[in-house]
Amino acid sequence: MKRSIAIVAGEPNSINSEIIAKTWKKLRKEKKIFVIGNYLILKKQLKKIKCKIKILQINKIEDFTDINSLNVLNIPLKFKSPFKVNILDTKKYVLQCLDTAHNLAFNRIIHSFVNAPIDKKIFSNKYLGVTEYLANKNKSKEVMIIYNKKLSVVPLTTHLEIKNITIKIKRTLIEKKIFLLNKYYKKLFKKKPIIAVLGLNPHNSENRKNSVENKIIIPAIQGLKQLGVDVKGPFPADTVFNNQKKLKYNIVVGMYHDQVLAPFKALYGYDAINITLGLDYLRVSPDHGTAQDIIGKNKGNPQSLISSINFLHNIND
């Protein structure tokens, strides 16, 4: 089973069943894929979009033997409608799916897993998202990287409201995150990254003495250089994505989520995956949300999930 890749079904009120089925149909002859989720939800949602594939319920990992069927390691779920599961049942279900995947990977029964998109409301205020939830279970420090072969981005802070970002930007945070990024990137990709760091403010606050850039970001970059990290900056956010070839970096670290994710998605669309570095195993996810506006319409694009599976397969080949 160590060569198998698990897909955590994720949010039930979503397009996840659709993109999982499309991914399995495309990759089933090349990769050994199974789903951790609810068998009936998957079956009923695929029936809605008239997707005819053979689905097999299994109740333990050892039962995964029929590679001509989409195997579903069944996780119980209460529901009246397959597209309208209430938040309390969803929360219990999604966390059980994640915990099952974590236990399988942590105990080396599988080498990695992909989680399909999850609505972050299930974490309430305890965790910002799946990245932080799994880091807590691993008792580790994590770095979220949105990866594309040409360029990757890392937000220093993730799902914070804009008003709360400035108080989180500290020299220690920048140094710790980028040091971990450098360490785990080298371990995973077998090469040292060249990292560009953005300023927080437009035009780096025009180099004002009391700016975040001068008081926090520049000293952090200098400290990282002394530790042997190949890091440059700070660069203004409005031009850095135009200068990649000239500056020759392969990772851009931004101070907040949309500072790097908005231009990155404009450049690469669905051709990207979310990787959590620093865990005891590899966990990736598609770089998009639950797409609740197109549920049941058979319009879901599986490209990011396909890229996630291919990445895990190739990195462990």
pLDDT per position as a tens digit, 147-180: 998 899 999 988 788 888 999 999 999 999 999 9
| pTM of structure | 0.86
Domain-wise residue ranges, the chain = 1-127+281-317, 141-278
CATH number of the structural domain 1-127+281-317: 3.40.718.10
Pairing of strands 112-115, 5-8: parallel
* Rounded mean pLDDT, 184-208: 90
Place of tokens 């500072």: 259
Greatest mean pLDDT among 2-16, 165-179, 206-220, 261-275 lies in 165-179
1-127+281-317 and 141-278 have identical folds: yes
List the 70-74 sheet strands across, edge first: 55-58, 70-74, 33-37, 5-8, 112-115, 282-286, 273-277, 143-147, 152-155, 251-254, 195-198, 231-235
195-198 and 251-254 strand pairing: parallel
Whether residue 2 is predicted with pLDDT greater than 60 in this model: the reply is: no
The per-residue pLDDT of the chain, averaged, comes to 89
Architecture of the domain defined by 141-278: 3-Layer(aba) Sandwich (3.40)
At 245 the pLDDT is 67
- What pLDDT was estimated at residue 130? 87
Per the DSSP assignment, residues forming a β-bridge with 113 are 6, 283
* Antiparallel, parallel or unpaired: β 273-277 and 282-286: antiparallel
pLDDT tier for residue 230 given thresholds of 50, 70 and 90? very high
Helix axes 16-27, 39-48, angle to 10 degrees: 90
Torsions phi, psi for 214 (to 5 deg):
-75, -35
Helix (H) or strand (E) holding 103: helix 87-106
pLDDT for res 271:
84
pLDDT at 247 over 70: no
Which pLDDT score, from 0 to 100, does residue 290 have?
85
